[in-house]
Structure 1
Amino acid sequence: MIVVRLDRVLADRKMALGELAEIVGISNVNLSNLKTGKVKAVRFSTLDAICKALNCQPADILEYQDDEEMN
């Protein structure tokens, strides 16, 4: 299972979701859906733009957790 840690990185950078959405060029709703893990896919171009805006690596945002560890 892939867990999205965007909220943690945003907090570390003291950046609001709306500010990131504006920088990246996607809607607040789509970015919020990504942040809450409600999306099934993310484009590499979007991930690239998020990482540039937050000065981070994809692994800072996305984390793999074994489903068995969750139980």
Structure 2
Amino acid sequence: MAIIINIDVMMAKRKMSLNELSERVNITQANMSILKTGKAKAIRISTLDAICRVLECQPGDIIEYRPDEPDPE
């Protein structure tokens, strides 16, 4: 997938655990883990807003677009 989630990078910069972030954003640890590992299929704007507020960052700090590499033939 071309969308990369960098929540773990921002968490490390802020010295924040998954548990603390999930509590402050008010979502379960399981759902935060799914977001953090990039396995989520979607994210609500309100959740993204809360994550950015808690981590004091911009959406672009945690979401990155990298074009897929073409398959070598």
TM-score bracket for the superposition, by shorter chain length: over 0.9
Provide, for residues 9-38 of structure 1, a one-character-per-residue CA deviation record: whole Å limited to 9, x for no partner.
000000001000000000000000000011
Query: What TM-score do the two structures reach when normalised by structure 1?
Result: 0.95
Percent identity reads 56
Pairs within 5 Å for 1:1-71: 1-68=2-69
Number of residue equivalences: 70
User: What is the one-letter code of the residue matched to 1:48?
Assistant: D
Shift in Å, 1:68: 1.6
Distance across 1 between alignment mates of 2:60 and 2:34: 18
Q: Comparing both structures, which one devotes a greater share of its residues to helix?
A: 1
Partner SS for 1:68 = coil
User: What is the one-letter code of the residue matched to 1:58?
Assistant: P
| Structure 1 unaligned blocks of 5 or more | none
Shift in Å, 1:63: 0.3
Query: What TM-score do the two structures reach when normalised by structure 2?
Result: 0.92
RMSD across aligned positions (CA): 1.3
Distance across 1 between alignment mates of 2:37 and 2:69: 21
User: What is the one-letter code of the residue matched to 2:9?
Assistant: R
User: What is the one-letter code of the residue matched to 2:61?
Assistant: D
Asked which structure has the greater CA Rg, the reply is 2
